[in-house]
Amino acid sequence: MIGYINSNGVDTVAVRHNLLSKRKIKYRFDSLDNKIMTHIYCTKKMESFLGTVEPVSIDMETTNLGNWNGHLFTIDRRKNLIFTNDKTAYSFVLLDVVKKDVKDFGTMFRESLLRQLDNDLKINEQQEIKLRRELRDIRIHSTNNNKKIIGTINECVYTIKTHAYLQGGLNQLTSIKIGQNLNDNILRTKLALNDKQYFHPKDLMKSLLT
């Protein structure tokens, strides 16, 4: 079950994640990282919602974390975003998104991913420092037609819509618990990091961050 808001309307799962943004971390970015970027490849629906994308340059390098594919889907006529990692099939979701929420897209993406990782993997301070370094330059592109990851996204969206229907609507779901459910699921698809027939996205992401 994906989990839902308590009777007081409070997302109790999210309370702990507020600590993540309050950590006082001292770190520096090396000038050698200038060309290291996080690339997000959007479906046409997401591209239309965001409004601007940029072409991929041949000299763009990818972080150790890999690239992401993003998609926009609707439930109860409300827009939602899902992002899935191409190395691990690890996903996170943003519910009921409006235009003003994506005005600072980089910050939204980075902080949402960190909250999900903190929930699923209890990342430590050094891991957060490394992730913030890798996620400091985020670029948005048109779709790269990664059929394996797009297929995984479609399965995730079907799962989310099913749970929303069974739980009585989108208001009964939370982004963190949806992500936790998706990343605990057993998937079957071929990925560069995976030599097993079946795997949990959370386990692959954990090994990638180790």
SS (H, E, C) 120-187: HHCCCHHHHHHHHHHCCCEEEEECCCCHHHHHHHHHHHHHHHHHHHHHCCHHHCCHHHHHHHHHHCCE
Q: What is the pLDDT of residues 50-86, one digit of tens each?
A: 988 888 765 667 788 999 999 999 999 999 999 999 9
Q: Examine residue 9 and state whether it is found in any structural domain, yes or no.
A: no
Is the pTM above the cut of 0.85?
no
Which residues constitute the domain of residue 119?
34-209
Residue 186 lies in a domain: yes
Query: Which range has the worst mean pLDDT, 13-27, 39-53, 130-144?
Result: 13-27
What are 100-155's pLDDT values in tens digits?
A: 999 999 999 999 999 999 999 999 999 999 999 999 999 999 999 999 999 999 99
DSSP 96: S
Average pLDDT over residues 82-103: 95
The number of folded domains in the chain is 1
Residue 11 maps to a domain: no
Q: Is residue 15 part of a domain?
A: no
Structure confidence by residue, pLDDT tens digits, 156-182: 999 999 999 999 999 999 999 999 999
Quick check: is 3 in a domain?
no
- Asked whether residue 5 is assigned to any structural domain, the reply reads no
Residue 194 is assigned to a structural domain of this protein: yes
Could you tell me the CATH number of the domain that includes residue 96?
3.30.420
In a domain, 19, yes or no: no
